[in-house]
Structure 1
Amino acid sequence: MTRVFQYLLLCCALLPYATPSLAEWHYEKQAIMGTEVSVQLWHEDSQQAEQLIDQVMAEFRRLDDELSPFKPTSELSRVNREAAKGPVKISAELTALIDKSLWYSDLTGGAFDISFATLGKHYDFRNKQRADEQLTESLLEALNYRHLHLDKNTHTLRFGHEKTKIDLGGIAKGYAVDRAVAILKAAGVCCASVSAGGDSRMIGDKRGRPWLVGIRHPRDKSKNAAVIPLTDTAISTSGDYERYFIDDSNTRVHHIFNPATGKPADTTAGSSDKLISVSIIGPRGFDTDPLSTSVFVLGKEKGLALIDRLPGFEAVVIDSNRRLYFSRGLDNPQSANANP
Structure 2
Amino acid sequence: MRRVEHVMGFPVSVRIDEEDFPEAPVDDLFAWLREVDARFSPFRPDSEVSRLDRGEVSAPSPELREVLDLCEEYRVASGGAFDVRLPGRGLDPCAVVKGWSVQRGAELLSAAGARRFCLNAGGDVVAAGGPWRVGVRHPEHADRLCAVLDLTDRAVATSARYERGDHIIDARTGRPATGLLSMTVVAPTLTEADSTATAAFALGTDGVRWAAAREHCEVFAVDTERRVLRSAGFPVVGVEAA
Is the pair's TM-score, using the shorter chain for normalization, greater than 0.5?
yes
| Secondary structure of 1:303's aligned partner | helix
Which one-letter code corresponds to 1:326 in the other structure? R
CA contact (8 A) 1:41 1:189 kept: yes
Which one-letter code corresponds to 1:264 in the other structure? P
Is 1:189 matched up with 2:159?
A: no
Residue 13 (structure 1) aligns with: none
Encode CA deviations 1:73-131: one digit per residue, 9 max, x unaligned: 11001011117xxx821100000100011011111101111113xxxxxxxxxxxxxxx
Residue 215 (structure 1) aligns with: 136
Residue 76 (structure 2) aligns with: 106
Residue 279 of structure 1 deviates from its aligned partner by: 0.4
| Secondary structure of 1:114's aligned partner | coil
CA contact (8 A) 1:217 1:223 kept: yes
State the alpha-carbon separation in 2 of the partners of residues 330 and 96 from structure 1.
29
Residue 291 (structure 1) aligns with: 196
From 207, 225, 241, the counterpart of 1:321: 225
**Cα pair distance change 1:100/1:331, threshold 3 Å:** closer
Residue 262 (structure 1) aligns with: 174
Task: Using structure 1 for the length normalisation, give the TM-score.
Answer: 0.67
Residue 163 (structure 2) aligns with: 242
Bigger Rg, which one: 1
State the alpha-carbon separation in 2 of the partners of residues 284 and 213 from structure 1.
15
Residue 214 of structure 1 deviates from its aligned partner by: 0.7
Residue 336 of structure 1 deviates from its aligned partner by: 7.1
| Secondary structure of 2:144's aligned partner | strand
State the alpha-carbon separation in 2 of the partners of residues 113 and 331 from structure 1.
29
State the alpha-carbon separation in 2 of the partners of residues 164 and 241 from structure 1.
23
| Secondary structure of 1:69's aligned partner | coil
| Secondary structure of 2:225's aligned partner | coil
Which one-letter code corresponds to 1:56 in the other structure? L
Residue 28 (structure 1) aligns with: 3
State the alpha-carbon separation in 1 of the partners of residues 199 and 124 from structure 2.
15
Which one-letter code corresponds to 2:85 in the other structure? S
Unaligned runs of 5+ in 1: 1-25, 117-142, 144-162, 245-253, 267-273
Is 1:308 matched up with 2:196?
A: no
CA contact (8 A) 2:8 2:37 kept: yes
- Map 1:40-189 to 2 at 5 A: 40-45=15-20, 48=22, 50-82=23-55, 88-116=58-86, 143=87, 165-189=90-114
Residue 18 (structure 1) aligns with: none
From 275, 282, 288, the counterpart of 2:187: 282
State the alpha-carbon separation in 1 of the partners of residues 175 and 81 from structure 2.
12
Encode CA deviations 1:191-236: one digit per residue, 9 max, x unaligned: 011121132111111xxxx211111011111111111111101111
| Secondary structure of 1:53's aligned partner | helix
Residue 280 of structure 1 deviates from its aligned partner by: 0.5
- Considering only aligned residues, what root-mean-square deviation do their CA atoms show, in Å? 1.8
Which one-letter code corresponds to 1:212 in the other structure? R
**Cα pair distance change 1:336/1:224, threshold 3 Å:** closer
CA contact (8 A) 2:126 2:189 kept: yes
Q: Percent identity?
A: 35
Task: Using structure 2 for the length normalisation, give the TM-score.
Answer: 0.93
| Secondary structure of 2:142's aligned partner | strand
CA contact (8 A) 1:257 1:263 kept: yes
State the alpha-carbon separation in 2 of the partners of residues 65 and 330 from structure 1.
35
Residue 331 of structure 1 deviates from its aligned partner by: 7.6
